[in-house]
Structure formats: structure tokens, C-alpha cells
Structure 1
Amino acid sequence: MFESLNRNLNKLYKISGYIAAIFLIFVAIFILIGISSRIFGFYIRGLAEYSGYCMASASFFALAYTFVEGSHIRITLFLEKLSGFKKRIMEIWCLAIASFFSGYLAFYFIKMLIISYKFQERSEGADEILIWIPQTSVAIGSTIFFISVLHQLILIIKKN
């Protein structure tokens, strides 16, 4: 059962990485449209805001994938100096702290999303979009990141 869950979570992290890549493509498209619109003399409201929303979404969806792949800045320089039991204890401690803070981050973003939806808040930019729409992807991405950190903690604890 644990191996099946492990495979499915790794698929989730990979899908999260693909979603981040799609949002980055949207950022590039919005920037190119913005540049083209200036050249050809027309204006599209909210392009800067939409590219910002897509960049935030890409960042948060990429967190889980890059964490699992080992691409985040980690404390490996410190951990390389340790070995055996001390290294294992330090890895567990670091992942436990990271799980706590990433869980708090996910909780906060979900809470912020619920409040924005409840009060129907709109952005202050030219687009005046309902702000809960871009916040949804940030909340989902941060939740997947929390799951990935907790998953790594469980893997380290489970490892003999």
C-alpha cells in the first residue's frame, strides 16, 4: 500500500511540475502580447496582472516537484559533514521543521482563499478579477508542497 501511495504522490509532484511549466508558458505569452500591443498601438487591460498571477502559480506548483527532485537550496553542505545516526537525526529535524512551516503556509493560503471567496474581493489592478481565482492555484500549489515535504519526512523516518 505504501509503495502505491509513494508512486501516486511522485506522479502528483511530476504533474505539479508540468502545471508550473504551463503557467510559465502563459507568462511568456502574456509578456509577448503586452510587447506586441505597445508596438501596434492597442491596449489590453490586465496583462501585467495576469502574468503576475501566472508567475505566482508557476512558483507554487513548482515547489513540490523541485523539492522532491532535490533542486531546492538545502543544507547539504552542513549534512555532508555528518554521518550515520547524527545525519539521520538532523535530516529528520530539518524535514520536521520544514513540514511545520510549509503546513502553516498551506493553511494560511487556504484561509486567505476562503476569506477572499467569502467577501468576493477583487484585485486592485486594471482587470478587477475576483482575487480568489488566482489564489486558488497558489493554495493548491502550497498544499502539494506541504504534502511533498511531509512525504519526504515519512520516507526518511521509514528508511532503515
Structure 2
Amino acid sequence: MTSPFAYLYRAAEILAAMSMILILVLVGGGIALRSVGLQLAGSDDLAAYCLVAIFFLALGPTYRQSEHIRVGLLIERIPVDSRRPLELVLTIVAAIGTGWATWWLGRLVYDSYRFGDVAQGLIAIPLWIPQLTMAVGCLVLLVALVEDVVRTLRGHKPSYIEVQQSAGEDHLHFEH
């Protein structure tokens, strides 16, 4: 399945992976320096910011690959021809909630930038920088959700169902 936003999803994945590598470097470097009596100041704060970046930046790509935890207790028990409308409604609700979160995270980033908020840790990092990963990650998830709403309205399967069916998971039938 190709998406016009494939490069956006890939970029988010790469940034999340880079954040994970940075955590390894920060924690590993801190351990190595501690063994010789030195300390990497602020590494715990930076690692925490990277952890937030991993979580948020991976939201959209993870959704697209059908790796989010989905509770199928209801969906799997309703008739196949009723699933499409329910999936559509649930995806629209998810998009609305994600849009709301994206808006407020964007406002948070803007306000932190405008007021010059800085972290309280050992390194005075402007807070808008780590907060920006949260807003961008939610925006990528919003794009993925809206893309699936449009796909479903056009009569196609949502990305997460298409990925599951191409992987051979037959328990989630979705009529085309």
C-alpha cells in the first residue's frame, strides 16, 4: 500500500529511531564516564526528552503498520458488512481527539517559545524544543487518521486493516 505521506511517516520513524540511539549514547556514555569518576551533566533530562520523542514520533507510523493495541472484542463480533461504518466512525472520533490534542500541544509549544520557558534541570534547554516532538508526533498521527478516513470514504480499506490482511491475519475481515 503506497501513501502520498509515506515520506512523512518514514521521517517520523527515523527521528524516533535517532532518539532511541541518542538515549543509548547518553545512558551508555554516562555509565562509561561514571566508571572513570566523571559525570555527564543533564544526561537524564536529555534521555527523558528523547523518550518522549520516541513515543510521540512513532505514533503515526505505528498506527499505519497496525501495531497499536486494538481491542477487537466488539468489532470482531459484529457482521462483516457492519464493520466498515463502525470503523469509519471510530477513525473519525480518533481523528477528532488527535486533532484536539495536536492543537493544544501546538499551543503549548508556541507559549513555551513565546514566554521563553526553560527546563529546570542542569541544562537550561528551551522547553519548546522537546515539546515540539510531541506536537509533530500528534500531527503525523492526525495525518494518518485523516488519510484512513478518506480511504474508507472512497471505498478502500483503512491502512491498519490492509496491513493485517496482507500479513495473513484472517480474523479481521473487511469487505471491499
Indicate yes or no: 2:110 matched with 1:124: no
Secondary structure of 2:4's aligned partner: helix
- Structure 1 window deviating more from structure 2 (127-136 vs 65-74): it is 127-136
Deviations 1:55-101 (A, max 9, x none): 11111110000001000011334212223332111101110110011
Aligned residues, how many? 156
Structure 1 counterpart of 2:25 = 29
Q: Partner amino acid for 1:75?
A: V
With structure 2 as the length reference, what TM-score do the two structures score?
0.83
Could you tell me which runs of 5 or more consecutive residues in structure 1 were left unpaired when the two chains were aligned. none
Q: Which residue of 1 aligns with 2:5?
A: 9
- Letter of the structure 2 residue corresponding to residue 34 of structure 1: G
Counterpart of 1:109? Answer: 105
Aligned mates of 2:58, 2:119 — CA distance in 1: 24
Q: Which moved more, 1:14-23 or 1:91-100?
A: 14-23
Pairing 1:95–2:87 present: no
Give the unaligned 5+ runs of structure 2.
Answer: 156-175
Q: Which amino acid aligns with 2:82?
A: K
The reply on whether 1:61 has 2:57 as its aligned counterpart is: yes
Counterpart check, 1:82 vs 2:51? no
Structure 1 residue identity aligned to 2:123: D
Map of 2:136 onto structure 1 = 140
SS in 2 for 1:37: helix
Query: Aligned equivalents of 2:154 and 2:80: distance in 1?
Result: 15
Report the more deviating stretch, 79-88 or 141-150.
79-88
Q: Shift of the alpha carbon at 1:115?
A: 0.2
Query: Any idea what SS the aligned residue of 1:7 has?
Result: coil
CA distance in 2, matches of 1:58, 1:112: 19
Distance 2:6 2:73 in 1: 26
- Give me the identity figure in percent: 23
Aligned to 1:39: 35
The structure in which a higher percent of residues are helix is: 1
What TM-score, normalized to structure 1? Answer: 0.90
Q: Give the partner amino acid of 1:31.
A: V
